[in-house]
């Protein structure tokens, strides 16, 4: 095989995808209750429009967008609103959420008659439908999709890219979606191209998902303006800036957006959600989650309602093994360890991972081996960033370019001293941000 496109830096990881990559997406029965956090998107969280005690139908709006960068939330099940309160949240401290008790007569959301030809829709109509359906980036970041479909004034979008890289080990959501919902994926890409004016569509797939590659290739090979591109397997190939670099050798400027180099990137799941939103008016009330781990009895890919508690999801996969374990929401590189199973699936939850903790020495002194800076895809010096954050030398921390860090975790993965470099940098970035607010 000829040399596949890639980016600078990065690491080769064990993949562990074999646990679930052939598991067809299964629909999970409705949970007895769902907890829907308001904070599921980048920007301002939507404002709740239901009160406790109110009956709701699946697909009904329960929170409306607030401000220009926001999203919509819908009841993911039919039932009664039982609380608007602080609830466990998978990506941080307890967070304001709407709890709905399921009544089990799940009435489907009322769907608008389908539009067969999205090319008749104006870009504004597409964005309105996407916003109304509450579509955000499903890869984990939760960036409101309609904002990405609205390139800033003066930028010209050439390429609409579907990110089918899924470079995190263990996760197989996008792999399954590319295999099972190829038609919708293509429709989603067409809509993204229409909304952004992109002249070419690219579906980017890492070379460890050849089944998906052949399937997608078979569907799009007749389309003149859509190409499937195979990329070298290397982490973090799926990071937006690294993906754009691999495909087009263009660098998104530091602090800039992909639109500044003529690109818009949407994840596979997001593109499918966009297609459903625009073609059938279906709001984003469920998503596919990979539930996996070497000791999970029935690992698989499950389509679950947003707000489904992790506990319920894990029981569906055969329950937990005994002994000391770690629960990770997301992939093993960027996911967040959970202390309990009370947090719910949110729109950005791509996986639920059960691992054995491996004891190893952590946070020994740096021996300056330099591996972290050789693997950093951004060209930072993680060892120094970690030290500056540790010593709270914020000016130096910022001067080393801390804000460009994408928190991919390559540095900590290779660190011989076992330093929690990403954690130090994350804390440092938060401190920088709060310092700026104070000024």
Partner 1 sequence: MKGKKERLFKVTPAPQLHGGESIPRVMWTVMLALLPAFLASLYFFGWKAFQIEAVSVITAIFTEAVIQKLRGRPVTITDGSAAVTGLLLAFTLPMDVPIWLPAVGAAFGIGVGKHAFGGLGHNIFNPALIGRTFVMHSWLPFMTTWSPPRLAMYAQVDAVTYATPLGAAREAVISLVPSPDGIFSTMDMFWGSIGGCIGETSALALLLGGVFLLIRGYVRWQTPAAFIGTVVLLTWVLPVKEGAIALAPYHHLLGGGLFLGAFFMATDMVTTPVTGAGMLVFGLGCGLITSIVRLYGGFPEGVCYSILVMNAFTPLIDKFTRPRIFGT
- CA distances from residue 38 to 48, 74, 79, 247, 315 in whole angstroms, order as listed: 8, 10, 18, 35, 25
Distance (Å, whole) CA 97 – CA 76 = 13
Say if strands 300-305 and 25-27 run parallel, antiparallel, or are unpaired.
Answer: parallel
Does residue 327 belong to the site contacting partner 1 (CB under 8 A)? yes
List the beta bridge partners of residue 86. 96
**Alpha helices (runs of H) in 351-420, residue ranges in sequence order:** 371-375, 382-390, 394-399, 410-414
Binders of partner 1 among 236-275, rule CB under 8 A?
Answer: 241, 245, 251-256
To partner 1, the closest distance from the beta carbon of 340 in angstroms equals 6
**Which listed residue (52, 416, 430, 433) binds partner 1 by CB under 8 A?**
416
- Say how many residues touch partner 1, by CB under 8 A: 67
Closest CB 416 distance from partner 1, rounded Å: 4
CB of 242 to partner 1, least distance (A): 8
3-class DSSP assignment, residue 415: coil
Rank residues 188 and 331 by Cβ distance to partner 1 and give the closer one: 331
Grouping H, G, I as helix, E, B as strand and the rest as coil, residue 214 is helix
Q: What's the rounded Cα separation, in Å, for the pair 308 and 32?
A: 9
Applying the rule CB under 8 A, the residues between 336 and 365 that interact with partner 1 are 336-342, 353, 355, 357-358, 360-361, 364-365
CA distance 93 to 91: 7
**Residues within window 369-408 making contact with partner 1, judged by CB under 8 A:** 369-371, 373, 376-381, 383, 400-401, 404, 407
The answer to whether 92 contacts partner 1 (rule: CB under 8 A) is: no
Q: Residue 345 Cβ, how far from partner 1 at the closest point, in Å?
A: 17
Question: In whole angstroms, how close is the CB of 358 to partner 1 at the nearest point?
Answer: 7
Among 123, 398, 420, 432, binds partner 1 (CB under 8 A): 420
**Are the beta carbons of 342 and 88 closer than 8 angstroms?**
yes
In this structure, are residues 184 and 274 in contact, taking their beta carbons and an 8 Å threshold? no
Q: How far apart are CA 415 and CA 368, in angstroms?
A: 10
**Helices first, then strands: H and E counts in the chain:** 13, 17
Q: Report CA Rg, the chain.
A: 21
Answer for which of 42, 396, 423, 432 binds partner 1 (CB under 8 A) is 423
Stretch of 35-43, 138-146, 147-155, 327-335 lying at the interface with partner 1 (CB under 8 A): 327-335
Which window, 63-71, 134-142, 219-227, 418-426, contacts partner 1 (CB under 8 A)?
Answer: 418-426
Would you give the DSSP letter of residue 404? G
* Inter-axis angle of helices 268-280 and 123-132, nearest 10: 100
Minimum CB distance to partner 1, residue 133 (Å):
30
**For partner 1, the closer CB: 80 or 320:** 320
List interacting residues with partner 1 (CB under 8 A): 8, 11, 13-14, 169, 241, 245, 251-256, 320, 324-328, 332-342, 353, 355, 357-358, 360-361, 364-371, 373, 376-381, 383, 400-401, 404, 407, 409, 412-418, 420, 422-423
């Amino acid at each position: 095989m000829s040399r596949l496109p890639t980016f600078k830096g990065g690491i080769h990881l064990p993949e562990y995808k074999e646990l679930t990559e052939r598991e067809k997406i299964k629909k999970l029965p409705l949970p007895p209750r769902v907890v829907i956090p308001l904070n599921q998107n980048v920007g301002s969280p939507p404002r709740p429009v239901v009160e406790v005690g109110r009956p709701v139908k699946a697909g009904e709006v329960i929170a409306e967008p607030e401000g220009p960068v926001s999203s919509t939330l819908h009841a993911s099940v039919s039932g009664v609103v039982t609380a608007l309160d602080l609830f466990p949240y998978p990506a941080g401290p307890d967070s304001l959420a709407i709890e709905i008790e399921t009544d089990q007569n799940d009435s489907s959301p009322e769907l608008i008659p389908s539009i067969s030809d999205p090319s008749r829709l104006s870009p504004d109509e597409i964005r309105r439908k996407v916003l109304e359906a509450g579509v955000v980036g499903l890869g984990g970041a939760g960036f409101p999709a309609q904002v990405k479909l609205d390139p800033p004034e003066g930028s010209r979008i050439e390429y609409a890219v579907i990110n089918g890289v899924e470079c995190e080990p263990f996760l197989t959501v996008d792999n399954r979606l590319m295999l099972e919902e190829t038609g919708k994926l293509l429709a989603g890409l067409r809509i993204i191209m229409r909304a952004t004016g992109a002249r070419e569509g690219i579906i980017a797939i890492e070379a460890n998902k050849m089944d998906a590659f052949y399937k997608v290739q078979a569907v799009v090979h007749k389309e003149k303006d859509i190409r499937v591109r195979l990329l070298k397997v290397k982490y973090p190939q799926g990071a937006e800036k690294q993906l754009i670099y691999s495909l087009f050798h263009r660098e998104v400027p530091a602090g800039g957006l992909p639109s500044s180099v003529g690109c818009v990137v949407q994840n596979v799941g997001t593109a499918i959600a966009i297609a459903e939103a625009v073609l059938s008016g279906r709001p984003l009330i469920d998503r596919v989650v990979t539930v996996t781990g070497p000791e999970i009895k029935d690992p698989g890919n499950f389509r679950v309602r947003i707000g489904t508690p992790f506990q319920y999801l894990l029981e569906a996969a055969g329950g937990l093994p005994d002994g000391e374990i770690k629960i990770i929401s997301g992939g093993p590189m960027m996911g967040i360890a959970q202390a309990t199973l009370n947090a719910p699936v949110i729109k950005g939850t791509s996986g639920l991972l059960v691992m054995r903790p491996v004891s190893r020495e952590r946070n020994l002194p740096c021996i300056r081996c330099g591996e972290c800076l050789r693997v950093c895809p951004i060209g930072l010096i993680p060892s120094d960033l970690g030290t500056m954050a540790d010593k709270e030398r914020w000016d130096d921390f910022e001067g080393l370019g801390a804000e460009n860090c994408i928190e991919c975790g390559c540095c900590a993965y290779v660190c011989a001293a076992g330093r929690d470099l990403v954690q130090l940098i994350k804390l440092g970035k938060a401190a920088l941000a709060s310092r700026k607010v104070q000024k």
